[in-house]
């Protein structure tokens, strides 16, 4: 699918994977509607070609308004890349007692329900666009994690939420096939994002050393490059792709 002269939605667009993807889409000729929380949008660097919209991805009304904003541009809405998510940890049985159910529900609500909410509401608008060759109308790229397969100690909530995104991929692709909308999922390994900004250089080096090859952390621009490859490749559909340097996470 051609990216130039189209509109794309990117969630989590103010930083990390989302910011890199938004920048790559703009460079490829798309107009991007970047969705993020109000505080994140306020601090996001101004970028030509990106229109930031403050919205909570778990709120259907806020997401619907953001999608309508994206659909209002002259360029047709063709792409959704969901990068928004949270990654806190808690053991099922820890020193302070059993896993807090509200904590678990919050992680699932943001990472899984939020992803589903954005995909569903955006797909409705993409389905209303004029079809391209082979009846294609657009593509959704969701973000899971290697934790969906290799969840570590303390990642019960996070791994559950990301495993849900992986499990969503194929049925979503099948549901949306009749509308010409493809669905793929990227599972990043350890990527240099703001989530790692608070750890020491020594700890970061230890994480990088555990990656078979290349023995370094992934970069947000590498995620963005893969996302654009999936957008352009019309026969990639219903796929979950690990981007992790052959990393398989240890229990802790």
CA pair distance 33, 134, nearest whole angstrom: 26
Please give the torsion angle defined by the CA atoms of residues 114, 118, 121 and 127, in that order, rounded to the nearest 10 degrees: -140
Structure tokens at 217: 């952390």
Q: 98 forms bridges with which residues in the sheet?
A: 93
- Non-local CB neighbours of 20 within 8 Å, separated by 6+ positions: 219, 220, 221, 223, 224
Q: Which two tokens stand for residue 197?
A: 């900004």
Q: Which are the catalytic amino acids?
A: 158
Element (H, E) at 175: helix 156-176
Hey, what are 129's tokens? 């666009």
């Amino acid at each position: 699918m051609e990216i130039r002269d189209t509109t794309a939605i990117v969630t989590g667009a103010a930083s990390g994977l989302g910011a890199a993807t938004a920048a790559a889409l703009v460079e490829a000729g798309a107009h991007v509607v970047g969705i993020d929380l109000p505080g994140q949008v306020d601090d996001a660097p101004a970028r030509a070609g990106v229109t930031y919209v403050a919205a909570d991805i778990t709120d259907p009304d806020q997401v619907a308004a953001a999608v309508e904003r994206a659909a209002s541009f002259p360029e047709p809405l063709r792409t959704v890349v969901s990068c928004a998510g949270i990654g806190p940890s808690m053991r099922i049985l820890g020193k302070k007692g059993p896993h807090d159910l509200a904590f678990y529900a919050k992680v699932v609500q943001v990472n899984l329900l939020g992803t589903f909410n954005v995909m569903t509401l955006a797909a409705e608008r993409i389905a209303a666009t004029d079809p391209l060759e082979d009846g294609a109308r657009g593509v959704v790229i969701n973000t899971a994690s290697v934790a969906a397969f290799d969840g570590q100690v303390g990642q019960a909530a996070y791994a559950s939420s990301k495993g849900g995104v992986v499990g969503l991929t194929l049925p979503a692709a099948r549901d949306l096939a009749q509308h010409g909308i493809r669905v793929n999922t990227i599972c990043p390994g350890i990527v240099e994002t703001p989530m790692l900004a608070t750890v020491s250089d020594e700890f970061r080096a230890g994480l990088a050393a555990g990656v078979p090859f290349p023995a370094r952390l992934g970069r947000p621009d590498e995620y963005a490059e893969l996302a654009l490859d999936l957008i352009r490749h019309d026969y990639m559909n219903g796929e979950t792709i690990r981007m992790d340097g052959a990393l398989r996470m240890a229990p802790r």
